């Protein structure tokens, strides 16, 4: 990785290329050549997993391309720099190396610059994709609070693309769960459900059904955890709890956005166990539900079991 000799060699090469950009008497600097050489050095450094140094070279490429008025190449270089710095931070995080998050701060700055460039070019969808990429990376680094800002920005940029907007809202809801803001997450899941039912075509696409299923199960688990009083329960939430209760007319299977009869029965049993305060049944049901649920739902289920055992 970033050994001392390697770093020294990098500095010599970096300074050598930079010297070509200095103005000399009766001679213009060859910016295009310098840009190519910085790019080649960045590739060599990335192959050696010297991520931070590769990022610096990409920043140099971006500055050269800015001088040459190559907007598309500039934003590509800035984006690559952001990813290299983010990789450097991720490696430090995985190795538990002490740091001041300097690589992360530089990565965020590069992402922010690239997003600004895309917005100036009238490309909000590309700007949104970078905001999502940064937000998800921050979540993986255990920084959901910081991630929320970028995911909200991405949702705003994606207003012209309903499906991508819904996806961003789903990320925001999951982020709120990670922050322990169950009320905020429930409001977000409810908003997503409303948007799908009001704007999505009929019949629903497979992708829309997946989002709706995630929202429905997440909302149910949060409601069982919060246990709102009947008079304080949103009508939509009351209908959801009623759907999964055993008191449905003629014991009919409820209308759910997923095809898993076993999951329906287990969730109905979960509602019954929570309403009866049966922690033993809840513990048994959680074991049966574990292989049927994704990571986000399992996290909510863990919160539910923990809260029920406390009360």
pLDDT of 3 > 70? The answer is no
pLDDT of amino acid 199: 81
d(CA 66, CA 81): 15
Query: Which of 197, 82, 85, 67 is CA-nearest to residue 129?
Result: 82
| pLDDT for the residue 230 | 81
pLDDT band for position 29 (50/70/90)? confident
The structure tokens 């991630």 sit at 147
Query: At what angle are helices 206-226 and 261-276 packed, to 10 degrees?
Result: 10
User: What is the DSSP-derived secondary structure letter of residue 254?
Assistant: P
pLDDT digit string (tens) for 153-192? 999 999 889 999 999 999 999 999 999 999 999 999 999 9
Q: Which of 12-26, 65-79, 149-163, 274-288 has the lowest mean pLDDT?
A: 12-26
Question: Residue 36: is its pLDDT beyond 60?
Answer: yes
Asked whether the beta carbons of 2 and 53 are under 8 A apart, the reply is: yes
Burial 37-62 (b: 16+ CB within 10 A, else e): bbbebbeebbeeebbbbbbbbbbbbb
Which residues does 118 contact at the CB level (< 8 Å), separation at least 6?
75, 124, 126, 127, 130
Average pLDDT over residues 247-254: 61
Question: What's the rounded Cα separation, in Å, for the pair 272 and 254?
Answer: 15
> Is residue 2's pLDDT more than 50?
no
Indicate the Cα dihedral angle 294, 297, 302, 306, nearest 10°: -170
Q: How far is CA 279 from CA 17, 157, 160, 240, 276, in A?
A: 68, 44, 46, 22, 9
Establish whether the linkage from the previous residue to 25 is cis, with ω within 30° of 0. no
pLDDT on residue 4: 38
The full set of domains in the chain, from first to last, is 35-93+102-160 (1.25.40.10), 173-311 (no CATH)
- Portion of the chain with pLDDT greater than 70, in percent: 94
Question: Over the stretch 96-149, which tens digit does the pLDDT of each residue have?
Answer: 988 899 999 999 999 999 999 999 999 999 999 999 999 999 999 999 999 999
Q: Is the pLDDT of residue 30 over 70?
A: yes
Q: For residue 124, give the DSSP letter.
A: H
């Amino acid at each position: 990785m970033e050994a001392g000799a390697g770093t020294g060699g990098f500095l010599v090469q970096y300074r050598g290329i930079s010297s070509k950009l200095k103005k000399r008497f009766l001679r213009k600097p060859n910016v295009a050549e310098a840009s190519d050489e910085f790019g080649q050095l960045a590739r060599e450094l990335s192959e050696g997993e010297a991520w931070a140094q590769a990022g610096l070279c990409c920043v140099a490429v971006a500055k050269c391309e800015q001088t040459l008025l190559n907007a598309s190449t500039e934003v590509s270089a800035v984006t690559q720099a952001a990813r290299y710095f983010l990789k450097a931070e991720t490696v430090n995080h995985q190795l538990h190396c002490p740091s001041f998050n300097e690589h992360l701060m530089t990565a965020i700055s590069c992402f922010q610059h690239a997003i600004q460039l895309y917005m100036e070019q009238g490309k909000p969808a590309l700007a949104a994709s970078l905001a999502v990429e940064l937000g998800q990376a921050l979540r993986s680094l255990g920084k959901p609070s910081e991630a929320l800002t970028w995911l909200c920005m991405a949702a705003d940029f994606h207003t012209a693309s309903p499906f991508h907007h819904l996806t961003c809202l789903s990320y925001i809801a999951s982020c709120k769960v990670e922050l322990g803001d169950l009320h905020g997450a429930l409001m977000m899941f409810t908003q997503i459900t409303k948007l799908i039912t009001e704007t999505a075509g009929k019949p629903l696409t497979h992708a829309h059904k997946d989002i709706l299923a995630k929202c429905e199960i997440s909302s149910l688990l949060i409601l069982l955890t919060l246990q709102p009083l009947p008079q304080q329960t949103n009508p939509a939430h009351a209908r959801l709890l009623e759907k999964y209760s055993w008191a449905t007319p003629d014991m009919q299977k409820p209308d759910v956005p997923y095809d898993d009869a076993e999951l329906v029965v287990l969730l109905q049993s979960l509602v019954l166990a929570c309403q009866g305060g049966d922690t033993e049944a809840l513990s048994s049901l959680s074991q049966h539900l574990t292989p049927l649920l994704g990571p986000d739902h399992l996290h909510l289920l863990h919160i539910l079991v923990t809260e029920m055992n406390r009360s």
